[in-house]
Amino acid sequence: MSTSLIMFVIFIAITLGITYWAAQRTSGTTSFFAANRQITGWQNGIAIAGDYMSAASFLGIAGLIAFNGYDGFMYSVGFLVAYLTVLLIVAEPLRNSGKYTMADVLAYRLSARPVRSMAAISTLTVTTFYMIAQMVGAGTLVALLLKDSGINYNWAVVGVGALMIIYVVFGGMLATTWVQIVKAVLLMGGTLLLSILVLAHFNFDLGAFFHAITHVQSTVEGKPVTTNYLNPGLLYKPPWGALDLLSLGLALVLGTAGLPHILVRFYTVPSAKIARTSVVWAIAIIGTFYILTTFLGFGAATIVGKGFITTNGGTNMSAPLLAQNLGGDIFFAFISSVAFATILAVVAGLTISASTSFSHDFWTNVVHGGEERTKGQEVFVARMSALVVGALSILIAILLGPTFNVAYMVGLAFALAAAANLPAILFSLFWKRFNTVGAVTGMATGIIATLVFIIISPSIMAVDPDTLTAGRHLIQAKAIFPLANPGIVSIPLGFIGAYLGTILSHEPASEAKYNELNVRANTGLGAEV
Amino acid sequence: MAQGGVRLEPEPGDLTTVSGGPGDIAPLGRDLPKPAHEQTAAEDVNAATWDQVAATDEFRALVAAKIRFILPATIFFLVYYMALPLLVGYAPDLMKTQVIGEINLAYLFALSQFLMTFILAYLYLRKANQFDAMAQNIIAKLGIKKGGTK
């Protein structure tokens, strides 16, 4: 058994222990969906970080920087700044006026059935794209990390899927939260250690480190080339690069505040004040992590080198290979298990938010008109839907296979969240005139626009050379829309849809309840405890 | 939250049904109350009369104070953040200028985004204590306990 596998097994054992512990303490609806609202500020802050920093952050950004230098670092910036939107605008009102899901806030003033149906659709769409990206990534990665142990892609996907189902079905939000906390601590520990090793490699001389970054050696067509990796433009090239970058930035900074699996975390704390503290904790942790991606990414670029990474697993292996180079096989195994933990914590968070939305928004409030027919039904339905969500994710990931290009899917999830969810949340909280028609048209426009623009973008449409076998584009034709990131068009369209829907209709009931929502959101009066 | 009437906790084995008509001001029986979130404004009327609270000077002052901080802060961070992809995308040569040793403007500007986020979060955290005090004041004046039903 390889060292990596042993570490994976240890992590799995710890998380199953957590799940068993949490299952003993989970009974009742608030307990299952919101950990009894007893998570403290710092715990929730770490859990948000654990929920948020996906494999795309840890392995993806390290790889992007290792291959494209500065342009990859742009992701790091956007992922953090996004939390200001969460902190200043969304977290506290959401906690004050909602119960279990994002849709609770919308349903406050608006007609529950159409709004909750639409919100459930939106939640499931965002979550699906995020999940597919994670699962396909998990499969390829785990198979690569454990290739000595004979675990292939399909088994890796099944394993990850089965674990996330167990966490959520048995341990609910409490188990999910603690798996995320353990993961965040491991991730921060591993990243710090790796960063220190990178610095030690340069004898703790930052000048030498940056000299190496600005003089990365490589060979192009047999000739040695020196590239300044600190200069922008290696990834985003003219003519559309700059606009693409802007579009991505917009999706990142506005999308986080609309991500269902992040928003549900604010229901796990006792009050809005603690929700606020938890975002600040999250900002401190996430910020530190993304600054450290400097060492991970540029370290891999300078110490390991693009050539070696390409022939040993590709971009996503940059951080693990850097660990192997600096700390040997044991450290490689440790960083690999950190990556594994990272994926598990994120997919568990996605699973619980998807199943909460299906059960609370769709089953109880749409199908059953707001009442639980029998006690405990909402939790039962949520557990079943977690099982279904998990099984479907495994199936989709296996059907798509390891060669399917999923890189754009996380960015797409952010764009979807920004275009569909954010306008509805913002208008609901701040615009008295806002109404049901506006919310439904806004969310529908946001979803449809984002999907349409991604389908006609270079992520889906491109002409591949016949020799390319892995990761071929779905539509073999020239892209109609030039940008890979649809946010710059789809986000304004989402807002316009919500605006037009509102002013073209009239709903006195929604306006009449604005004062109530406003007082609740701003004072915490009557908030769920 | 109980309506007008007194709510008794059902005892094990007590199968007393809820009686009384839907129009009763104080329904009889032992029906469990709806959670705070699902109550209509009419049912939740004892928690606060929302329109009255919304019309008080204290509440208006709280909302105004929040907007005075949050609106400029949001505009500031959005502009500051979007300046990064704009400058990197449209003025790459400026951003390639080496400022400290071999560290260029692009990297320093990106780093400053982290600092900006930390500082703004800290400023908001401090400012929000004032908002909390104002909200507490409003709730205290209403003479009711904060929080809804469990």
Q: What's the average model confidence in pLDDT over A233-239?
A: 81
What is the predicted pLDDT for the residue at A449? Answer: 95
Query: For residue A226, is pLDDT > 90?
Result: no
**Residue B53 and residue A287: Cβ atoms within 8 Å?**
no
pLDDT for res A7: 86
Q: Where are the beta strands (DSSP E) in chain B?
A: 98-100, 103-104
Q: Which of B50, B70, B90 sits opposite A89 (nearest CB)?
A: B70
Of all residues in chain A, the percent with pLDDT exceeding 70 is: 99
> SS3 of A270, please?
coil
Is B92 in Cβ contact with A232 (below 8 Å)? yes
To the nearest whole percent, how much of chain A has pLDDT over 90?
A: 43
- Phi and psi angles of residue B143, each rounded to the nearest 5 degrees, phi first: 70, 30
Q: A416 falls in which pLDDT band (50, 70, 90)?
A: very high
State the DSSP H helix or E strand holding residue B130, giving kind and residue range, or none if neither.
helix B105-142
Higher pLDDT residue, A280 or A472?
A280
Which residue(s) pair with A277 in the sheet?
Answer: none
Residue A424, pLDDT above cutoff 90? yes
pLDDT at A527: 84
Given this model, what pLDDT does residue B25 score? 53
What is the ipTM, given to two decimal places? Answer: 0.91
Partners of B104 in beta bridges: B98
A347 within 8 A of A134, measured Cβ to Cβ: yes
Q: Tell me the chain B residues in contact with residue A84 when contact means C-beta distances shorter than 8 Å.
A: 73-74, 77, 117, 120-121
Whole-number pLDDT of residue B3 = 42
Can you give the pLDDT at residue A376? 82
pLDDT value, residue A280: 95
Q: What token pair was written down for B3?
A: 């309506």
pLDDT of residue A183: 92
Nearest-5° angle of CA B141, CA B145, CA B148? 130
Q: Is the peptide bond before A239 cis (omega within 30 degrees of 0)?
A: yes
In order, the DSSP letters of A362-429 are IIIIIISTT--SSTTHHHHHHHHHHHHHHHHHHHHHHHH-TTS--HHHHHHHHHHIIIIIHHHHHHHH
Q: Which residues of B touch A104 (CB under 8 A)?
A: 37
Strand, helix or coil at B99? strand
CB-side neighbour CA atoms (13 Å) of A375: 3
Contacts with A517 (C-beta within 8 Å, 6 or more apart), sequence order: A97, A105, A108, A109, A428, A429
Residues of A in contact with B132 (CB under 8 A): 273
Give Cβ neighbours of residue A221 (< 8 Å, ≥ 6 apart): none
Print the SS3 string covering A111-130. Answer: CHHHHHHHHHHHHHHHHHHH
Q: Determine how β-strand A216-220 pairs with β-strand A223-227.
A: antiparallel
Amino acid at B90: Y
Tally of CB atoms within 10 A around A310: 12
- Write down the domain spans for chain A: 3-398
Could you tell me the two tokens for A139? 């499969």
Among A49-63, A153-167, A179-193, B43-57, the range scoring the smallest mean pLDDT is: B43-57
List b or e across A26-58, with b for residues whose CB sees 16 or more CB atoms inside 10 angstroms: beebbbbbbbbbebebbbbbbbbbbbbbbbbbb
* CB contact (8 A) between residue B148 and residue A245: no
Q: Which CATH class is domain A3-398?
A: mainly alpha
Cβ separation B36–A522 shorter than 8 A = no
Neighbours of B39 (CB within 10 A): 18
pLDDT tens figures, A503-525: 999 888 888 889 889 988 998 88
Nearest CA in chain B to A516: B50
Residue B39 has pLDDT above 50, yes or no: yes
Report whether pLDDT(B38) > 90.
no
Contacts of B20-23 with C-beta under 8 Å, sequence gap 24+, read none
* DSSP code per residue over A448-504: HHHHHHHHTSTTTB----TT--SS--SB-S--SS--S--HHHHHHHHHHHHHHHHHT
Question: What is the pLDDT, as a whole number, of residue A99?
Answer: 87
The pLDDT of residue B2 = 39
Mean per-residue pLDDT, A108-112 = 87
Mean pLDDT of all residues belonging to chain A:
89
Least-confidence region, from A78-87, A96-105, A419-428 = A96-105
Above 80 in pLDDT, residue A284? yes
CA closest to B90 among chain A residues: A242
CA A196 from chain centre, in angstroms, equals 27
Most confident listed range (A77-81, A234-238, B26-30): A77-81
Cα–Cα distance, B53 to A517 (Å, whole number):
11
Residues of B numbered 74-103 whose beta carbons fall under 8 angstroms of chain A's beta carbons: which are they? Answer: 74, 77-78, 81-82, 84-86, 88-90, 92, 95-96, 101-103
Is A184's pLDDT higher than 90? yes
B104 touches chain A (CB under 8 A): yes
Q: What angle do CA A489, A491, A496 make, to 5 degrees?
A: 95
pLDDT, residue A107, reads 87
Answer yes or no: is pLDDT of B31 > 60.
no
- A223-227 and B98-100 as β-strands: parallel, antiparallel, unpaired? unpaired
pLDDT at A27: 82
DSSP state, A65? H
> Hey, which residues does A224 pair with through a beta bridge?
A219
